[in-house]
Amino acid sequence: MILHRSLLFVPGGREEMLEKAGRFPADVLCLDLEESVLPDEKPSARGLVRDAVGRLAGEGRTVHVRVNSIGSGETRLDLAAAVRPGLAGVLLAKTESAQDVRQIDVLLREQELARDIKPGTIELVVAIESAQALLRCQEMGRASTRLVALMLGGEDFSFDMGVARTREGRELEYARYVIATCARASGLVALDTPWADIQDIEGLVADAQRAKAVGFGGKYVIHPSHLEPVHRVFSPGEEEVASARRLLAAWEEALARGEGAVQFEGRMVDRPIAERARRVIEQAEAMRS
């Protein structure tokens, strides 16, 4: 089980930040070739990212690279630099349609074959960053077998909607519901937008809790200080894990007796509740590995 609780953006054009990225305990290090890199700096950033992917993967880190949108004309160049043995995944910025997803699938396959990587090895996350993309979310979620997650790009989505980002996050409520539902329907993870205020840890926690409450499994972050709070929100607590183990044991005993439901600590438990407990245990075990 690959953890996606926290995904730390690392500017692809900042050599010093790429060098120290391995120190930070993010589940995923997402090296960025899109928003943090100015147009005339993209060629040099690709070289830095190419070198960093292999080094960080060799250190045992899970590495993704955010590449520019299909419409930018930069995607193939980004992938030619990023795809190396050890690269775990790619985040496609500003994904607008299922055709975008299919196109990057083909481009990834080309690079995998060129690098002697088994086709389909590199996982894909697509960023939903506009009203049009949100309306196409369901079809995008089923457009590639390498897809693992749908990501909400909150800043661009708010800009596209003509509204401001607020501390309360009301402007993202509908988008979160849609993305979480589409992700679940397609067997994917929903990943939340970064919290932009580096100093406001209380706001970060509240924002992450809102996302978790509607079905998100993790959150992108833009600063290492946000990792620990995000991990707290998206990780099961000790008592939650202990309760899940007791519940699952009671459920399995009921199944052995031929029963489809069982009373556990004052409430009825059936298969969906038992499977939710199983996911909690799997996540806790993945965190210890």
pLDDT tens digit sequence for 195-223: 999 999 999 999 999 999 999 999 999 99
Task: Quote the CA–CA distance of 3 and 64 in Å, as a whole number.
Answer: 13
Residue matched to tokens 């069982």: 262
In the chain, how many H helices and how many E strands? 12, 10
DSSP assigned state of 45: H
Nearest to 147 by CA among 194, 198, 183, 99: 183
Task: Decide: 127 and 151 in contact? Cβ < 8 Å.
Answer: yes
Q: Residue 35 is inside which H or E element, if any? A: none
In tens digits, the chain (289 residues) has pLDDT values of 466 899 999 999 999 999 999 999 999 999 999 999 999 999 999 999 999 999 999 999 999 999 999 999 999 999 999 999 999 999 999 999 999 999 999 999 999 999 999 999 999 999 999 999 999 999 999 999 999 999 999 999 999 999 999 999 999 999 999 999 999 999 999 999 999 999 999 999 999 999 999 999 999 999 999 999 999 999 877 677 777 787 778 778 888 888 777 788 878 777 777 777 777 777 777 776 5
Provide the 8-state DSSP code for 31: E
Query: In the structure encoding, which two tokens stand for residue 41, read together?
Result: 């700096």
Residue 65 identity (one-letter amino acid): V
Token pair, residue 3, equals 């953890």
- Residue 162: C-alpha distances to residues 80, 137, 171 (Å): 35, 20, 10
Could you give all domains of the chain from N- to C-terminal order, each with its CATH number? 6-234 (3.20.20.60), 238-288 (no CATH)
Closest CA to 153 of 30, 57, 38: 30
Helix, strand or coil, per DSSP, at residue 254: helix
The rounded distance, in Å, linking the Cα atoms of 111 and 204 is 37
Quote the pTM value: 0.85
Strand 123-128 relative to strand 89-92: parallel, antiparallel, unpaired?
parallel
Note whether 185 and 215 are within 8 A (CB).
no
Query: Which residues have a Cβ under 8 Å from the Cβ of 215 and sit 6 or more positions away?
Result: 180, 181, 183, 184, 190
